[in-house]
Amino acid sequence: MPMQPELGLAPYAATAATSRGRRHAEERSQTRGEFQRDRDRVIHSTAFRRLEYKTQVFVNHEGDLFRTRLTHSIEVAQLARSIGRHLGLNEDLVEAISLAHDLGHTPFGHAGQDALNDCMREFGGFEHNLQSLRVVDVLEERYGAFDGLNLTFETREGILKHCAPDIARTLGDVGERFLDHTQPALEAQLANLADEIAYNNHDVDDGLRSGLITLEQLAEVPLFRRHYDEAGRLYPAASERRRINETVRRMINALVLDLVAQSSANIAAAAPASLADVRRAPPLIAYSAAAREESLTLKRFLRDHLYQHYLVQRMSAKGRRIIRELFQSFMDDARLLPPQYQAKAEADRARAVADYISGMTDRYAMREHRRLFMVEDI
């Protein structure tokens, strides 16, 4: 008898039974739910393995303990699953979206994406969120019958967090909600906020570990200050590192508890009886006003003191230069591309080059740059 993995969900959760399905029809699995299959396909994809060597804030070779896009994605999935289970949402879908949400990121983090977007200005631009969808819809080459991973509509709509109207018009089903201003499933709303909780908190941890931000600076952030003081009161003899870990753990917990309480209240007030009701309602997964303000303050702090730090800026500048020079070299002479990309470049050179560059890990991009610019390297 087929298993029924989706029993026990809230009526407003996404289910395979009510799914809008896959772009290419496939037989159902006897052992796994549809969103489980999506999660498994993401984990086995090439783009997922590359996340290990892509920058979140710190370039991979800068230190072994910093988050990478892979560990970030796993942290997002952990947070989103815990919250999702508590709210009666579809944990498999939440996990699939979380693990896939950063698949389209370029090497060198946001600096890489900005540089590639600049290079692509005359050719339709480049946006990592849209590229994540392109990875799962088109670029992964794992199946004989179709391109991409052929994920369900619900996972794909969760991956596409935002989208400009003119692009939404070209995307068919997943673009619709940006035109009719409806909401995605709660699982998608949740993965989006879990992303924010994860990076705000792990960037505090990585920022302190790197020495680029200090405890004295962080004292101006109320969310940090409160939990740091409490950790010190509870464990006066603890080492500084242990106290920081206690603090970050408590900050995450506070944000999660707030998100659960406020979202539960929003869901109770809107009383959606189905996923269709969720789509018509305003966003229901949300912080309280107080927690949103605190989270925003932390985000601003990280922007001003960590992301704008001159040492981060230096690495970003190097990353941008590498991306620009790779792009220009391949645009000037497509014969420099690996053969499989040369074939794609015949149809649309700029897009093929952008796909090639955005798929690179940090260290692959650095190596490829050396191979193109240094006569000693082949």
List residues binding Mg ion (CB under 5 A): 102, 195
68 contacts 56 by C-beta, under 8 angstroms? yes
**Residues 191, 158: contact at Cβ < 8 Å?**
yes
Largest CA distance in the chain: 66
Minimum gap (Å) between residue 332 Cβ and Mg ion: 33
Q: How many other CB atoms are there within 10 angstroms of residue 375's CB atom?
A: 5
**CB of 161: closest distance to Mg ion in angstroms?**
9
Cα-Cα-Cα-Cα torsion 369, 366, 121, 155, nearest 10 degrees, comes to: 140
In a 3-state reduction of DSSP, which class is residue 178? helix
Q: Please say which residue, 80 or 354, places its beta carbon nearer to Mg ion.
A: 80
Comparing CB distances to Mg ion, the nearer of 159 and 281 is 159
CB of 199 to Mg ion, least distance (A): 6
How many helices and strands, by DSSP H and E, does the chain display?
A: 19, 0
Distance in angstroms (rounded) separating the CA atoms of residues 378 and 367: 10
Distance (Å, whole) CA 283 – CA 267: 10
CB nearer to Mg ion: give 195 or 203: 195
Question: Nearer to Mg ion by C-beta: 115 or 193?
Answer: 193
Please identify, using beta-carbon distances, which residue of 102 and 140 lies nearer to Mg ion: 102
Nearer to Mg ion, 19 or 200 (CB): 200
Least separation in angstroms between residue 198's CB and Mg ion is 7
For residue 124 the two structure tokens come to: 């339709």
State in angstroms the smallest separation of the CB of 2 from Mg ion: 34
Residues 6+ apart with CB under 8 A from 238: 231, 232, 246
